[in-house]
Structure 1
Amino acid sequence: MKYLMIFFLMIPLFLTAQKELHLAENSFQVDSFTERTFEDFVEKVIPESQFIFIGEQHGIQEAGIFTNIIFNWVNPLGFETLCIETDAILAEKLAYIASLERPLEAAKKLNDTFPYAIPFYNSKEDYSLFKNVVDRGGHIWGIDQTFMAQFRLNLDHLIQNTDNVLFKERLLPIKKLAFDSYAQSIAKKSFESMFWTTYDLATHEELMALSTNNEEKDILYHLWKTKEIYGYNAKKEYYQNNNERGKLMKANFTKYYMEALKKTELPRVVFKLGASHATRGLSMTNIYDVSNYASELAIFNHQKSLHFFVAGITGEAMTGNPFAEKPVAAFDNTKRLPKELQVLVSSFSKKYTIVHLAPLRKYAYGETYSEAMKKYIFNFDVMVLVKNAEPLSPL
């Protein structure tokens, strides 16, 4: 009986040792993504990928640096598209600006005219990535909703590009209302004061009736979807908010993909999205997001999807919040990591720690790993943790 009790007491110690061994065998550290160790790893995990997802912590430089490295690596393999978390109108404008001789000047002008209209891609580092993609003959797809502070930009786009006099005349006072609402929002520090809350069905239907082509109607459709999606959030219907946004992203991706199929048999895409939109399986917000949709599409095409999680352990990030006291905020994500990684953080001596999660799946049943660790193991293929992350640089 004594030896039996010792045996059962030793089981947790044995499982912990095995777990640490598996983590050690499937992780490594580098100070740069140009190191041979990292390049050898990428060479091993990339083959047969049709879609590569980079699920980022927004606001840190290293996510863009990583995306640039990956895009450069896979571009010769047929990856010509970067898919981002904007709507199609904004993606088109970002690609155009990136094609200019002095993109940062044009980007700053756009930002000064429409402050905070671009929530996730509005830094010097972002335009370095966009320019690299465009210079390589690549394309930028924007599959997300129109964001709340972006109404001004999209209404202006409609005004500048329509030849329909009645439509343009009706849009002008609406655009002014959108600018006035934004000013009130900043003054009151209230997202609820932005124009999306007062854009009503009667106005929307009137504009739809006045518009004369499918492109205009599509832009208006997305403005109304934005109101609908943010409306769920305002009513604290968070599942509906996330699910409707996910459905929209799938529909927008499908539209791009079907067009791409007219030119190539197997479109290959690098995605740079917030981490919750880059998961395989049930996402962090409990929906089956565009990333899972694409992962199944890759299987249908006898290919695979590759999912990276890129986040800082410690450092600083650009907040992207117009109401924040400072544009940059320090963070420490150590306690948000699974407990298995928390105990290892102090031993991380280099800039980047790469954990190959996919091989851990065969060990991730039962009580071997915490539920938090299992979530990462099954949602992503590779985890890239950044020590002392640096914030994006404002334009």
Structure 2
Amino acid sequence: MKPYILIVSIILFFSCKEKPLDTPKIINQKTNSISTIPVIDSSYIATKTRYFTVDSTTIKGEGRIVIDTILSQSQFVMFGENHGSKATSQLITALVPMLYANEFHHTAFEVGPNSAKKLIDLSTPISTTVEKLKTFNTRYSLKEDYQYPIPFFSGVEDAQFLQAVRQKNMNIWGLDQEYYYAAPYFMDELLFLMKGHPDYAKIELEKEKTVDIIKSWYAQKEASKIFDSIQKDPVVQQYFNRFAGNALAEQMLNDFKISWDIYNRWKEDSHADRISYMRTNFMNRYNEALETETAPKVFLKFGSLHASKILTNTCYDLGDLVTQLAKKNASKATTINSWHRYYINEKGEEEDHLIKYASYYKRLQDFMVQAKRDQWAIINLKSIRDDILKGRIALPANGDYHRIKSLIDGYDYQLILPLDTEVTPNKG
């Protein structure tokens, strides 16, 4: 009897064994039959991918049709970038004429409101934009590469897309806090308001001492809450007190104090206050635009995290804001994410981010393998989302599910850049 029992046990074991997790089943209610839904993979994603090139300032290829459709149908386009990307800035330069042709009169960037005004000043006259930004960056950038006065405008290619924006007379909205290293140039902006004051020479000396104090605190890399310490310094207080009663200066100082408070509390969940500040600034500028337009169209260029439509880092970011606003307006918002795959690092070596950052991209590799070194890839996540809702394709049931669902729910399109590198430094 023992061999018989053993055989029966083996049969029962295999008959009860679980089916693989990546073969979801659905029951047809009419026929009561079971059918298999294919699971999302690279071959399926390839059918949702189109390619294009950026030749000088022209976008060419099948992907151009996708971009044309996005711009013609959207009131808001939220572009989630990789900061410091040369290819991205070149793409934006090529996008500007297309944006303008589709009546996008407003652009919003990840800079402070006062920095946005400064960018307008630095691009006037428009033909001098690259050179004026170079002079500005040379004067106010500190020792480290990231210590420039206005974020994401440190490269030649950044200046070129700014020039393209200004050539089309598009408005520039600064929505973010003022940058950590913006204070030295900002002190000069305040001083400029005191031109003609009888004590100008004395005030200028106070400004120089204030800048020295700020830079000394910057040098203390381990110091926490440095902006609290800066504002408590008697010399700094004396300089700031010079502007009492000057409405413009007081507004500028208030903007900076908000920014400094956010930096001071970055370990204490000030991120939520930063996102709320950006959302408030967007709505203020949007409501101003409504005074002359019935449906202002806005192009936003921010880091990818800010472009997501779903909860990220405990916050509902700008991607959520424009999505909800579009629903209210019965219009459309399109959110776009972007990745590098092939990248030339500072040593001149080519990196494959699918390998270098495998811990992140391994769960998204079916998307990342669509990349090409010489072309942009644009993947229609919205179409994939629709296929999932209609039961045409299924997400995997393993651990990849969460990362893929977050991508598909968070964005409408995924861009994968061609071979890329850092922007060309625009300073002496």
How high is the TM-score relative to the length of structure 1?
0.84
Whether 2:366 is the aligned partner of 1:356: answer: no
**Aligned amino acid, residue 335 of structure 2:** H
Per-residue deviation, 1:384: 0.7
Give, in angstroms, the shift of residue 106 of structure 1. Answer: 1.2
Does residue 258 in structure 1 map to residue 290 in structure 2? no
Any conservation in 2 of the 1:59–1:317 contact (CA below 8 Å)?
no
1:294 corresponds, among 290, 310, 322, to 322
Distance 1:164 1:243 in 2: 42
> What's the secondary structure of 1:198's corresponding residue?
helix
Which segments of 5 or more consecutive residues in structure 2 lack a partner in the other structure?
Answer: 1-10, 25-35, 142-147, 389-393
Q: Structure 1 residues 134 and 173, CA, compared in 2 at 3 Å: closer, same or farther?
A: same
Specify which of 133, 136, 155 is matched with residue 107 of structure 1.
Answer: 133
| Cα gap change, 1:173 to 1:209, in 2 (>3 Å) | closer
Which shows bigger deviation, 128-137 or 1-10? 1-10
Residue 165 of structure 1 and its aligned partner are, at CA, apart by 4.2
2:183 counterpart of 1:154: no
> Helix, strand or coil: the match of 2:19?
helix
Q: What corresponds to 2:423 in structure 1?
A: 392
- Give the SS at the match of 1:47: helix
1:176: Cα distance to partner?
Answer: 2.5
d(CA) in 2 for partners of 1:90, 1:374: 36
Instruction: Indicate conservation of the 8 Å contact 2:279/2:321, yes or no.
Output: yes
Of 39, 49, 63, 1:18 maps to 39
| Counterparts of 2:305 and 2:352, CA distance in 1 | 19
User: After superposition, where does 1:233-382 map in structure 2 within 5 Å?
Assistant: 233=266, 236-237=267-268, 240-283=269-312, 285-316=313-344, 332-334=352-354, 335=358, 337-343=360-366, 345=368, 348-350=371-373, 351-362=375-386, 363=388, 367=397, 370-382=401-413
**Bigger radius of gyration among the two:** 2
- What is residue 162 of structure 2 aligned with on the other side? 130
Q: What is the identity percentage for the equivalent residue pairs of Structure 1 and Structure 2?
A: 20
Q: Which string of whole-angstrom CA distances, capped at 9 and with x for unpartnered residues, describes residues 107-137 of structure 1?
A: 1211122111112211111111111111112
Indicate yes or no: 2:116 matched with 1:96.
no
Distance 1:175 1:252, change over 3 A: farther
Per-residue deviation, 1:205 = 10
State the Cα RMSD in Å. Answer: 3.4
Deviation at 1:357, TM superposition (A): 0.9
Give me the whole-angstrom Cα distance separating, in 2, the residues matched to 1:151 and 1:177.
13
Amino acid at match of 2:168: R
Query: Displacement, 1:294?
Result: 2.1
Q: Distance in 1 between matches of 2:222 and 2:425?
A: 23
Query: Residues 148 and 194 of structure 1 are in contact (CA less than 8 Å); yes or no, is this contact kept in structure 2?
Result: no
Q: 1:337 to 1:34 in 2, by over 3 A?
A: farther
Q: Is the 8 A contact 2:345 2:421 kept in 1?
A: yes
The DSSP-based 3-state class of the residue aligned with 1:273 is strand
Unaligned runs of 5+ in 1: 319-325
Q: Is the 8 A contact 1:58 1:317 kept in 2?
A: no
Correspondence 1:195-234 to 2 at 5 A: 197-200=229-232, 207=240, 210-233=243-266
User: Once the 2 structures are TM-superposed, how far is the Cα of residue 189 of structure 1 from its aligned partner?
Assistant: 4.9
- C-alpha displacement at 1:312, in angstroms? 1.0
Cα distance between partner residues in 1 of 2:97 and 2:352: 30
- Tell me how far apart the structure 2 counterparts of residues 167 and 358 of structure 1 sit (CA, whole Å): 61
Native 8 Å contact 1:56 1:275 kept in 2: yes
